[in-house]
Amino acid sequence: MWKQLDVKICKNPKYITMNDKLRIGILGLAGKPIPTIAGDISAPQFVVANLAESLKKIGHKVIVFTGKDSQVQAEKKSADLDSPWKLFGPENEHPISFTERKVEFDLILSQQAITLYKNGGLDIINSHDIRFSPYLFLEAEVPVLYTPHYELKTRFSSYDQYRYNLMRNPLFGLANISRANIQFSENLGLKIFGYVPNGIDIEKYHFNDQNREGILLVGRMAAGKKIKEAIEIAKQIGEKIVLIGPPGNKDEDIPYFEDLKKNYLNRSHVKYLGYLNPEEIIPYYQKAKVLLFPSHSEGLPISILEAMATGLPVVASAVGGIPDIINDKTDGCLLNNDSEWLDKIKLAMSIKNELPRKKIENQFTLEKSTQRYLEAYEKFINATGKK
């Protein structure tokens, strides 16, 4: 185990409350614009965009450190640079150039946030990428609250372990989107300042409980999403299936998608629509009987929240934050192994549509998510004593 660096924090006797207006700096994924451009899926960027707008609406000053090509309803700090995605993306087309510029842009945006914080322009920095320069913030002795959007237990290489060790320092804390990530963080001795599951603007997703038909799958057309298996299951139960999402962008996804096109997407019960933007997907949520969301690992998927908000029951793998959203066999169904697909899909089709809608209304609105972030910010600022 590496030796833990010890940076002392001088506590300020003045504590903030939920009534204080804050100056909040937010870091997303430096490589991509906020929200992401057409053809790409990146839930963290949509979360950042919605959170920034929501915080600003209730009177907080929000500065988002991102490329100048980002479209956020808040002040931007970009060093007058476009995101690497605009210049070299997608990352699989120019991997070396994209990676080089992304790393550099990470450092540039981190330095901008550090400078603004040290000059008294920010009360808190909230980074939505746990890889975002903890080394630089540690050297600068600037506290950062991290919100990782993937399943933490899936990232445990020697590099990850080194980073986790640094993050035990009192400068850093976590506000986690899932209970699974909270448990993982606790096991590593990382400091947790809140549970901040994603939320959506419920008014965008109109409820429907009439004339639903067929199966829907939304996500990348990649092996990890079990697209072929979903197509076979739909055939077995005599249902049409609509697939929405771009091809995967990893090397192994290219031959997988080619085989999909040749042997699966041309079947009579299959309709593949390719990439659609989030607003274009809503009518399909409103029409289907059930959404399939099989996956090997997840953070807390926005697609599941959007589907359930329209009244669409979801059958999803019991990984990451998905069990936080779905109460198995009540407002949706959780998959623990592939042998459960048929029974769980049939059961989900019998669930009353108002039940998934109520779950989102009660627990996963943008307003509730924003409130949880503010509670985490309050705890973190008071703990670091920097206000």
SS (H, E, C) the chain: CCCCCCCCCCCCCCCCCCCCCCEEEEECCCCCCCCCCCCCCCHHHHHHHHHHHHHHHCCCEEEEECCCCCCCCCEEECCCCCCHHHHHCCCCCCHHHHHHHHHHHHHHHHHHHHHHHHCCCCCEEEECCCCCCHHHHHHHCCCEEECCCCCHHHCCCHHHHHHHHHCCCCCEEEEECCHHHHHHHHHHCCCEEEECCCCECHHHCCCCCCCCCCEEEECCECHHHCHHHHHHHHHHCCCCEEEECCECCCCCHHHHHHHHHHHCCCCCCEEECCCCCHHHHHHHHHHCCEEEECCCCCCCCHHHHHHHHCCCCEEEECCCCHHHHCCECCCEEEECCHHHHHHHHHHHCCCCCHHHHHHHHHHCEHHHHHHHHHHHHHHHHHHHCCC
Q: In what order do the strands lie in the sheet with 23-27?
A: 75-77, 61-65, 23-27, 124-127, 144-146, 172-176, 192-195
Statement: residue 42 has pLDDT above 90 = no
Spatial contact of 341 and 351, defined as CB atoms under 8 Å apart: no
Taken in order of first residue, the domains within the chain and their CATH numbers are 23-199+366-384 (3.40.50.2000), 202-363 (3.40.50.2000)
Task: Kindly list the distances between the CA atom of residue 324 and the CA atoms of 44, 130, 213, 264, 378, in Å, as whole numbers in the listed order.
Answer: 18, 21, 27, 33, 24
Summarised one tens digit per residue, pLDDT across range 272-323 is: 999 998 899 999 999 999 999 988 889 999 999 999 999 999 999 999 999 9
Residue 187: the pLDDT is 96
Q: Residue range 32-44: average pLDDT?
A: 73
Residue 386: the pLDDT is 59
Residue 237: the pLDDT is 93
Higher pLDDT, 377 or 224: 377
Residue 15: the pLDDT is 61
Of 72, 71, 69, 36, the closest CA to residue 52 belongs to 72
Residue 32: the pLDDT is 86
Cβ of 343: how many Cβ atoms within 10 Å?
11
Statement: residue 26 has pLDDT above 50 = yes
Structure pTM?
Answer: 0.91
Summarised one tens digit per residue, pLDDT across range 186-222 is: 999 999 999 999 999 999 999 999 999 999 999 989 8
Summarised one tens digit per residue, pLDDT across range 8-18 is: 444 444 466 66
Stretch among 34-38, 101-105, 368-372 having the lowest mean pLDDT: 34-38
Spatial contact of 253 and 326, defined as CB atoms under 8 Å apart: no
